Amino acid sequence: MSVEDGKKFNLDLLIQQIGPFGKFQLLNYLLICLPIAMTAMYTLTFVFTAGDLDYRCRIPGCDEGESPSLDAPFLDFTTPKDGDKFSSCEKFLHVPNATVTDQCQADLFNPNQRRSCSEFVYQDDETTILSEWDLGCSEEWKLSLVGTINNVGQLVCLPMTGYFSDRFGRRTAFILGSIFAASFGLVRSFSTSYIMFIIFEFLEPALSAGVYSAGFILGMELVGPERRVLGAFFINVFYALGEALLGLLAMFTRDWRLLMQVAYVPTFLFILYRWLIPESARWLVNMNRTRSAAKIIDRAARMNKSPLTADAKKMLDDALQKNVETEEKSEKLKAEEPIVKEYRLMAALKSRTLLLRLINCSYCWIAICFVFYGMSMNSVTVAGDKYLNFILTCLIEIPGAGICCLFMDRIGRRPMLCISLILSGASCIAFIFLSDLPEAAQLTVFLIGKLNISMSFITIYVYTAELFPTELRHTLLATCSMFGRIGSILAPFTPLLGKYVESLPMILFASLAISSGVFIMFAPETFNKTLPDTLQEAEDIGT
């Protein structure tokens, strides 16, 4: 956008004139929230598709028929015990006796010699890829790898989505990401092997993980500074509802293929959003398409029934009367300036101020993603019903979003991040010492930790989006989010670590949460600041 155009078309003034969060913005936020709720499920489907099950060795001569029982009386003399439970991976050596018909007798098994299992019996009320392809015992690491591969896909996607969104529009990135998610997720539900499953587990997020960030920015760029937190509240409530819906669907389907088909098919409907939601007005102005942006503002003013001042009305009318050919020429010139965009990105990275902020934010993202996703995954290992625990762990994000909405505009973004991260870390430390207490007490402390880290997640999105300029906002937000995926890539292995050292996941969660809460206080406050459009404006925040 040229300087002259910027003086003629003051988008921040017009947004205040039409109302910072009127009926138009509310309707758009509700529409944006639906795909976000659906894609929220997809970030955690592996918790159930690659979930752990109870299983044991199949005992030849004893396990007859197509559906042997998981619990059987012959386990006392055929299977060794690991602590209080029968071993899942070993059995006693069977010494067949051709002179007897019944091969399932105690004297035909040698308790002094153990053998690894090659066939297994699984619980019969649920199916996951564990039972589909026998991924227990020595193959158990492949279950954790599913979550890691999913997050590697997100890591690949986020910088591409950031560039694509800044180049071709927030709405385009938002819709395409939703359709890619539906397509690859549905194909994955028909996987015929672990290799095919893992390939599509990567491809789906690699082409769709930017839906949340694209939708977040698409909504935020059309509201006033004082209503950005309210917008974030709407998005994160629907995100939590989407995650909880996953737990509910898993509870009722209990079949990984059916779960995926039910979860992914409805997302194809979002192709209709091409005609239902507008492009970001701020992005259009930045691309010199002020006439298109003016149309959106005019429609918003009419729907919100907002009277405009004479100056604002003249500004809007002048933009609406702009020659279409002139706008198209300006847009083409803008589209032919990727080198300028790259130069600005390099300039941002050469700025010591912005680089230090980017590093600080990136570390905070790593910690938050590691703790947030790690606690969601470990919720199914907390004492009690795994489905209920997962649903409650997701729903606790809603009061977290409400607390953010109430306090972020009172105490600021930076203190909110610091307090919530430290409290989350403290809850994780407290949980370590509660193993002897009732299940309800353990779950309560666990939920307090998840409540606080969900508050951190909401705040870091708002804070990062406010910290960087319009021309690089999605690119740098995606960069921070990309680093955050380092945390979520490592998080799927925390339940596996917990099998060896029970308290280790919580120790790791607490260490990262508390340290990042301290470091973020060295970054500037963005509360009630106008969104920066240029590098200089971004550098001036906090000075």
Residue 1 confidence (pLDDT) = 40
Q: Per-residue pLDDT for 180 more than 70? A: yes
Percent of residues, the chain, with pLDDT higher than 70:
93
Give 343's pLDDT tier (boundaries 50, 70, 90). Answer: low
Give 328's pLDDT tier (boundaries 50, 70, 90). Answer: low
Closest CA to 526 of 471, 457, 467, 481: 467
- 475 in the same domain as 394: yes
Q: Domain for residue 398, yes or no? A: yes
Residue 323 confidence (pLDDT) = 57
- 375 in the same domain as 467: yes
Average pLDDT over the chain, rounded to an integer: 85
Q: Per-residue pLDDT for 413 more than 60? A: yes
Please name the residues in contact with 540: beta carbons below 8 A apart, sequence gap of 6 or more.
Answer: 532
Q: Domain for residue 8, yes or no? A: no
Q: Domain for residue 6, yes or no? A: no
Q: Please indicate whether residue 311 or residue 370 has the higher confidence score (pLDDT).
A: 370
Give 362's pLDDT tier (boundaries 50, 70, 90). Answer: very high
Closest CA to 183 of 194, 172, 175, 195: 175
- 341 in the same domain as 322: no
Q: Using CA of residue 154, residue 166, residue 282, residue 28, what is the dihedral sign?
A: negative
Distances (CA, A) of 362 to 479, 503, 523: 8, 26, 12
Interval 414-442 mean pLDDT: 89
Task: Give the structural domain span for 496.
Answer: 335-542
Q: Domain for residue 9, yes or no? A: no
- 128 in the same domain as 115: no
Whichever domain contains 231, its CATH number is: 1.20.1250.20
Residue type (1 letter), 238? F
Q: Per-residue pLDDT for 335 more than 70? A: no
- 310 in the same domain as 214: no
Residue 6 confidence (pLDDT) = 43
Among candidate residues 96, 122, 148, the one where a domain is terminated:
122
What kind and span of H or E run contains 389? helix 386-395
- 430 in the same domain as 303: no
Distances (CA, A) of 269 to 43, 112, 169, 481, 516: 19, 61, 20, 27, 40
Say how many Å lie between the first and final Cα of the chain, rounded. 26
Closest CA to 372 of 240, 242, 238: 240
- 314 in the same domain as 222: no
SS3 263: helix
- 470 in the same domain as 435: yes
Question: d(Cα 341, Cα 287) in Å, to the nearest integer?
Answer: 12
The model's pLDDT over 498-543, given as tens digits with 9 standing for 90+, comes to 877 888 999 999 999 999 999 999 988 888 777 787 788 888 886 6
Yes or no: say if 129 and 259 are a contact pair by the CB < 8 Å rule.
no
- 532 in the same domain as 406: yes
Q: Domain for residue 284, yes or no? A: no
- 519 in the same domain as 376: yes
Give 84's pLDDT tier (boundaries 50, 70, 90). Answer: confident
Domain count, the chain: 4
- 233 in the same domain as 184: yes
Q: Per-residue pLDDT for 271 more than 90? A: yes
Q: Per-residue pLDDT for 223 more than 70? A: yes
Among candidate residues 103, 122, 141, the one where a domain is terminated:
122
Q: Domain for residue 2, yes or no? A: no
Question: Is the whole-model pTM more than 0.85?
Answer: no
Interval 430-452 mean pLDDT: 87
The model's pLDDT over 145-173, given as tens digits with 9 standing for 90+, comes to 998 899 899 888 877 887 788 888 889 99
Q: Domain for residue 15, yes or no? A: no
Among candidate residues 122, 140, 158, the one where a domain is terminated:
122
- 400 in the same domain as 325: no
Residue 346 confidence (pLDDT) = 76
Q: Domain for residue 134, yes or no? A: yes
Structure tokens at 356: 């230090």
